[in-house]
A and B are shown apart, each in its own frame.
Chain A
Amino acid sequence: MTGLFERLGASTLNSITTLGRAVLFLLRVIAGCGEWVRRPGLLMRELYSVGVLTLVIIVVSGLFVGMVLSLQGYYTLVDFGAEQSLGVLVALSLTRELGPVVTALLFAGRAGSALTAEIGLMKATEQLAGMEMMAVDPERRVIAPRLTAAFISLPLLAVIFTLLGIIGAYIVGTALLGVDSGAFWSQMQAQVSFGDDVLNGVIKSLLFGLVAGWIAVFNGYDCMPTSHGVSRATTRTVVVTSLAVLALDFVLTALMFD
């Protein structure tokens, strides 16, 4: 019986210390962001591997999400004779929710896992320890550019995702389903507000970028330096990022759109 409480206590303390380490780590990394300001080449390389290489999956899934949304939305709206509101439905769903959230989930799978695996392997092969031996701070040199790259990339990817989703919905809606293209755009323009809808979506994806990048680099930096540890850390990154993004999205939506 005492063993049960012991395990419960140990796991609680363990979670709290991990959270504390993660927060201190984040603060140290943010303080170390001066390194890539002096050497922008570091940031460029990370923007390439985190942002540019994720672009393909974002473009393809954005188009398909928009197309599916258009089909499903049409079948619901047409019963009420309101198929002209298809553009509004698609644009509001994408700018407010689906754009930021789906992009963050895809980002966790494509870029977050890669970041964790890369940093974890650097730790397992003692490259990070080697840097410290040469008086190079790995938190500034390795971690800070990667976190910043995630923070910058995710909003850009989310905006591209949203736009391609709307284009996909437009193609399916007008070419396949026969919605009037003038009504599609004009209803959308009348109902979607830049400040309330588009900008709030961008604010969401900025926060998701910070969270996704933070979880990815921390899991890599904090993993057990074995092949098993790296694999567990990579899985944990994807799972924790997905849960954190979905939970955070609920909170943000409740705060933003009343």
Chain B
Amino acid sequence: MEGRSVENSRRVDLAVGAFVAAGLAALFVLAMQVSNITAFQRAEGYTVVGYFQNVGGLRERAPVRLGGVQIGRVSDIELDQSRFEARVAMTIAQDYNDLPSDTAASIRTSGLLGEQYISLEPGGMPDALSEGDELMLTQSALVLEDIIGQFLYNQGAGGSE
């Protein structure tokens, strides 16, 4: 009786151990495979800011791309009270610490209905961007209503001639 009970309790321990290990392993896979916890953490990288007249549908955590390759993320978007422009902070991975200081930033849309991201265009200055620098050349998001408005205006101007 005693031996059987010990055997039984070992089996229970084993099953519980396997259960807990499976649960923790599942959490680990969720962290690595599903949410990709390591990609562009806030700590690793440097932050640059850009001022945009209109950020459109840009959101925090949106990708920052150069030549189509993701090199960072948007870490913060807020309104600058003195300039009345949107101040967008971008965290760029430490690997890409040699971008020219006159790099230009524009807000683009991936595909017709896709999410908005920031596209960087490298300039030609010899010195590199570093923590806290401001991107001077920025281009706002395209607002569909403005484009349509401009188009109609041009059409109207063309018709009167």
Contacts and interface: CB of A to CB of B under 8 A. Distances in A.
B68 to A, nearest CB: 14
Contacts of B113: 80-82
A193 interface: yes
- Range of interface residues on chain A? 20 to 34
Interface stretch (A117-125, A154-162, A248-256): A154-162
Interface stretch (B32-40, B47-55, B81-89, B132-140): B32-40
Given A51-B19, A156-B19, A189-B36, A95 B9 contact: no
A147 B63 CA distance: 44
Contacts of A193: 35, 61
A254 B123 CA distance: 45
B69 to A, nearest CB: 13
B79 interface: no
A257 to B, nearest CB: 14
B9 A41 contact: yes
B128 interface: no
A194 B23 CA distance: 16
A89 interface: no
A44 B9 contact: yes
Contact of B13 (A44, A91, A152, A194): A44
Interface of A: 41, 44-45, 47-48, 51-52, 55, 80-82, 91, 95, 152-153, 155-157, 159-160, 162-163, 166, 185, 188-190, 192-194, 197-198, 202
A48 B23 contact: no
A92 to B, nearest CB: 10
Nearest to A186: B36
Given A48-B15, A82-B113, A193-B61, A159 B26 contact: yes
A194 B41 CA distance: 11
Given A45-B12, A190-B63, A95 B30 contact: yes
A162 B26 contact: yes
Contacts of A51: 16, 19
A82 B34 CA distance: 19
B23 A156 contact: yes
A95 B27 CA distance: 11
A157 B20 CA distance: 9
7 contacts: A44-B13, A45-B9, A47-B19, A55-B19, A82-B113, A156-B20, A189-B33
Contacts of A159: 23, 26-27, 30
B23 A160 contact: yes
B29 interface: yes
A198 B19 contact: no
B31 A194 contact: yes
A193 B13 CA distance: 34
A81 B111 CA distance: 11
Given A55-B22, A160-B23, 6 more contacts: A47-B20, A55-B19, A156-B20, A159-B27, A163-B26, A193-B61
Contacts of B13: 44
A157 B9 CA distance: 22
Interface string B3-19: 00000010011011011
Contacts of A52: 15-16, 18-19
B42 to A, nearest CB: 11
Contacts of B31: 194, 198
Contacts of A44: 9, 12-13, 16
Contacts of A91: 34
Interface string B61-105: 101000000000000000000000000000000000000000000
Contact of A163 (B15, B30, B39, B61): B30
A48 B34 contact: no
